[in-house]
Amino acid sequence: MKKFAVGLIGLLLVPAVLHAENWPNWRGPHYNGSTTQQDLPVQFSQTEDIAWSVDLPGAAAATPIVWEDRVFLAGVDAERDVLLASCFSQTDGKLLWQHDIAKGSRKDYRSNFASSSPVTDGQIVVFFYGNGDLVCYDLDGQQQWARNIQRDYGGFAFLWTFSSSPLLFDGKLYIQVLQRNVPVEGRGLFGRPNRSYLLAIDPKTGESLWRHFRPSEAIAESLESFTTPIPLIHNGTKQVLVAGGDDLTSHDAATGEELWRWGTWNPDRIPHWRLVPSPVVGEGVVLACAPKRDPIYAIRLNGSGHLDDSAIAWVSERRSQVSSDVPTPAFYDGDFFVLSDVRTGLSRVEPQTGEVKWQVNTPGRAKYEASPLAADGKIYLINFDGTVVIYDASNGEMINEISMDAPRDGEMVRASIAAAHGQLLIRTTRKLYCVGAAR
């Protein structure tokens, strides 16, 4: 794992790093899709090397979150049309607790309200849903507080289903809502402007600490962002990175004040460039993935104010496989691993120069929208059909290709694979697998 601490800028000294065996949020203990886990399985199937599996009552995109023996999962009961918050034992898959959150699980055919991943700090676990419900439990499932962000601050002005995951960092819970400035298809505020914002909440009480409004020059759907805020400590300053609305911004973690802004990947202000990939940090740069088939931009972290293009360390070549419309890249072993869903490739990229060290085509015809897991010298991917593909991180050679699902009724596998305690947590459309030797 050479350069690992340096790749995190040596400064992400948050509590999650002290529990690197856990997977406490969507992108793992280092917020970049990687973990120090070793001896992870590569030879398995739906029945082989499975510690346990449980049936799920509906498909959802939220990634499993792990703390010690607890696996937290946001989901749906499709038959009852109910949103769920669940907790399983990682030892044997036993359902420890489960709560109904709300009736009604979707508003469009592409996704449902259980697309945001939970987050935990080992004391509490917070679930957030696309209908605005935000619910906090202790690890034994006792509700601590609950609120609905749409009821508090107005309906989400999104064409598609809102799905940003929450962040716990520096003693605060962060929620970002980057939305249209006018209502869309009946959603949003009427008679007054919709404003995009970064919200900080006291995780102990659920009370708002501050709400920082984030302006944008983007137009229409390009104002919409489905990214997740990412923490950073740089030059002693605790920051929160936010991507969307055609720009990348950094905010003071204590106040929400904007520290710097770089933009734009959309100089022509194309109106339909919603953003999905979250920022990812490594070796002094942060990646911003332009949408659709456009390039990736590496922005240096030593600026302040409104940055011009001198802040760009490199830009990937147009029409290259170093591009991503949906998956967030991983940072591992000193390099970025970029999965392109639109150009069907996986690339290992040097952070300072953008040099492509190796590049492979992803197999099959199904899309790969789940973000990659990087661990134990391997890169784990999963596609819509539930096929897991494992690569050697050093040279891009395929290690294995494993079918873990046979989706039905238009359902798709979208949840990223998580790793904790020497096991993989793989969510398919109707099952949650714990892969590896039993604990």
> pLDDT by residue (tens digit) across 40-75?
999 999 999 999 999 999 999 999 999 999 999 999
**H-run or E-run covering 359:** strand 356-361
CA atoms in the 13 A half-sphere facing the CB of 63: 28
CATH label of the domain that carries residue 373: 2.140.10.10
Inform me whether the pLDDT recorded for 325 exceeds 60: yes
Q: How confident is the model at residue 18 (pLDDT cuts 50, 70, 90)?
A: very low
Inform me whether the pLDDT recorded for 2 exceeds 50: no
The CA–CA distances, whole Å, from 153 to 219, 329, 368 equal 22, 31, 34
What pLDDT shows up at residue 1?
A: 36
What's the domain range around 95?
Answer: 4-435
CA distance 343 to 321: 5
What pLDDT shows up at residue 439?
A: 85
Contacts of 253 (CB under 8 A, 6+ apart): 169, 170, 172, 231, 238, 239, 240
What pLDDT shows up at residue 109?
A: 75
Using one digit for the tens of pLDDT, what is the confidence trace for 133-184?
999 999 999 999 999 999 999 999 999 999 999 999 999 999 999 999 999 9
Inform me whether the pLDDT recorded for 264 exceeds 80: yes
Average pLDDT over residues 422-427: 98
Burial class of residue 164 in the structure, from the number of CB atoms within 10 Å of its CB (0-12 exposed, 13-18 middle, 19+ buried): buried
Inform me whether the pLDDT recorded for 19 exceeds 80: no
| Torsion angle of the four alpha carbons 99, 130, 170, 217, in this order, in degrees rounded to the nearest 10 | 180
**H-run or E-run covering 196:** none
CA distance 164 to 154: 16
Inform me whether the pLDDT recorded for 11 exceeds 70: no
Give Cα 88 to chain centroid, integer Å: 21
CA atoms in the 13 A half-sphere facing the CB of 290: 24
The per-residue pLDDT of the chain, averaged, comes to 94
Inform me whether the pLDDT recorded for 13 exceeds 80: no
The candidate with the shortest Cα–Cα distance to 35, out of 60, 8, 9, 56, is: 8
What pLDDT shows up at residue 161?
A: 93
Q: How confident is the model at residue 409 (pLDDT cuts 50, 70, 90)?
A: confident
What pLDDT shows up at residue 71?
A: 98
Angle among Cα 299, 418, 340 to the nearest 5 degrees reads 45
What pLDDT shows up at residue 365?
A: 94
Number of domains in the chain: 1
